Chain A
Amino acid sequence: MNTPSRLAKVRLMKLSKEQVLKIANLARLKLTDEEVGRLSDQLTDILTYVEVISELDTKLVTPTSQVTGLSNVVREDVVTEQLCSPDELLEASPLPKDEHQIRVKKVL
């Protein structure tokens, strides 16, 4: 999957406006037409630039996601300290509150 040839295929692609809109949907971003046009060029430039990493053979290399060797840091599932009250957290919301809950637009 990670062979240079797999990446070489990606390189040929220039992001279309449709693809930009598809990514924007995944990221829940509303973009203006002007932003879509600009991002189509800029994302292509950035993706072309980062493809330099495809020239390295990494078949035998383990990926790094954590740099100090920690894994599975766990603790007892109990409340240890309370930094603030639930109502203080609700205060941070710009939406109306109703019985200690945030009132949102209908989902469906």
Chain B
Amino acid sequence: MDLNWLSITEAHLGLKEKKFSAKDLVLSCLDQIEKTKHLNTFITLTGDDALKQAGEVDAKIARGEEIGILEGIPAGVKDLFNTRDVRTTCASHMLENFVPPYDATAIARLKKAGYLLMGKTNLDEYACGASTESSYFGPTLNPWNREYVAGGSSGGSASGVASGQFYFGMGTDTGGSIRQPASLCGCIGLKVTYGRVSRFGVTALASSWDTVGPFARNAQDIAIVLNAIAGNDPLDATSPIVAVPDYTKNLTKGVHGLKIGIPKEFFAEGVDEDVRVAVLSAIKEYEKLGATLVDISLPMTKYGVAVYYVTMPTELSTNLARFDGIRFGHKPDGEVKDLYDYYTSSRGEGFGAEIKRRIMVGTFVSSAGYADAYYKQAQKVRTLIIQDFAEAFKKCDIIMAPVSPTPAFRVGAKSGDPIAMYLADALTIPASAAGIPAISLPCGFSSNGLPVGLQILGPQWSEDLILQVASAYEQASSWHNMRPSFK
């Protein structure tokens, strides 16, 4: 029996019915990780600990005790989440040896639910990038073609889920870092409403944009993981007290009568023809399922990348000020003469090129004389993007669009051109700006065999509706069941 491609529910039932053990699940994951290690999905593997904990789950089952839905389920976690006693690098030389003494809240909740940590997955350094190429530990590759990128920044979690290395992954999405790699690797990734999942213990990139969310291979698995991690956390003041529904409850309700908005700006010039065709045919399928289509306009879309690349570096340069090699981080290699020299050397040696670039941009646009022209203006345009969505959701229940303008690109194709890389997020940034939830769902392949994702966006706190809509498509199509072959 091939255990690698089971859904979480199938794995859970199999454990309960003793068809296989939690140890079997971990061993088959480790086997797949070994077989596909060329993808470079992990920075740190924790398979031995997972195996030990699996033994405890198996003992519990043998004693006839009830187990929770995530108990004994192996997962991969982006190496941006603090994991107690497990090295957490943010894919940076700066934190190469950092071992956090506490868990991020999302991790503490998954632990409480009994999940098994297979290891810490690769990402762009400090989650800054759209290809996982800026990692200090080398790029993560695409499961469908190793010459192509996995997307990013959560490339390790996306590639790992899509290649059968673990059952679900954890990522963060600031301007597209869950949805874009999910789209490029052919799995599902959910960016939640800002504040739906606690950010506590997750290294901050841009605090007013950062969100935490899951990767999986079907909508139900996403809902199961979200049930475990969502909800207010007193340790994250930006996580509002909003009721957490059972996200698995509405999955079979279908889309009859649903009004789907199609924003023309998301299908404009720059969107690859293969992507356009796959996304539009998925939308047609929804029409067959009883939904109606409405043309809408989000005219501020074209300003999204610029708004993002002013406000994000500003927040990032502030957040990354804490990395100075004193309480944690990189100790300068050579002799330093004073504290100033220590700071600048630690940061100069510890940070990679993209981080330095963003810190420099952020420091400049928030400095005296420029803050009003750049930072404040960007925050105002952000307001206009939010108003765009508010207007749109008066005409429709949900919005559908491509996730990424193109399928995966070749490794190295954009690494010398920062702005080309930034534009990879052009269609994911608007939802991030507005703090609304959006999912990436497999909906086809490009002519050269690379996955294409459909983006489904809803109003704030509508994760249950988004998952219901995603699930309806899964029942009518089989794209989410396509598996890469590794030869």
Contact = CB atoms under 8 A, between A and B. Distances in A.
Interface in B309-361: 309-310, 317, 321, 324-331, 336-345, 347-349, 351, 353, 356-357, 359-361
Interface in B276-313: 302-303, 305-307, 309-310
A68 to B, nearest CB: 5
A93 B97 CA distance: 10
Contact of B377 (A29, A30, A49, A53): A53
B377 A35 contact: no
B326 A102 contact: yes
A20 B328 CA distance: 27
A100 B345 CA distance: 25
Nearest to B385: A64
B383 A26 contact: no
Contacts of B327: 89, 92-93, 102
Interface range, B side: 35 or more
B360 A23 contact: yes
Contacts of A79: none
B101 A91 contact: yes
B356 A66 contact: no
A64 B386 contact: yes
Contacts of A56: 303, 377, 380-381, 384
Contact of B419 (A30, A45, A70): A45
B361 A43 contact: yes
A68 B240 contact: yes
A84 B373 contact: no
Contact of A70 (B234, B240, B309, B345): B240
Given A29-B359, A73-B237, A84 B418 contact: no
Contacts of A15: 364
A28 B347 contact: yes
B361 A46 contact: yes
Given A67-B386, A106-B338, A53 B381 contact: yes
B348 A30 contact: yes
A106 B342 CA distance: 10
Say what secondary structure dominates the interface of chain A. Answer: loop
A2 B101 contact: no
Given A29-B344, A29-B348, A39-B356, A7 B373 contact: yes
Contacts of A47: 361, 364-365, 374
Nearest to A60: B380
Interface residues of A, number: 59
Interface string B234-268: 10011010000000000000000000000000000
Contacts of A29: 344, 347-348, 351, 356, 359-360
A35 B100 CA distance: 31
B61 interface: no
A84 B303 contact: no
A27 interface: yes
Given A30-B347, A45-B418, A50 B309 contact: yes
Contacts of A54: 373, 377
A53 B325 CA distance: 36
17 contacts: A1-B372, A2-B372, A29-B348, A42-B357, A45-B419, A52-B306, A53-B303, A54-B377, A63-B376, A67-B434, A68-B238, A70-B195, A73-B238, A92-B101, A94-B329, A105-B339, A105-B342
Contact of B348 (A31, A67, A80): A31
B77 to A, nearest CB: 18
Nearest to B379: A63
B213 interface: no
A12 interface: no
B193 interface: yes
B5 interface: no
A106 B336 CA distance: 11
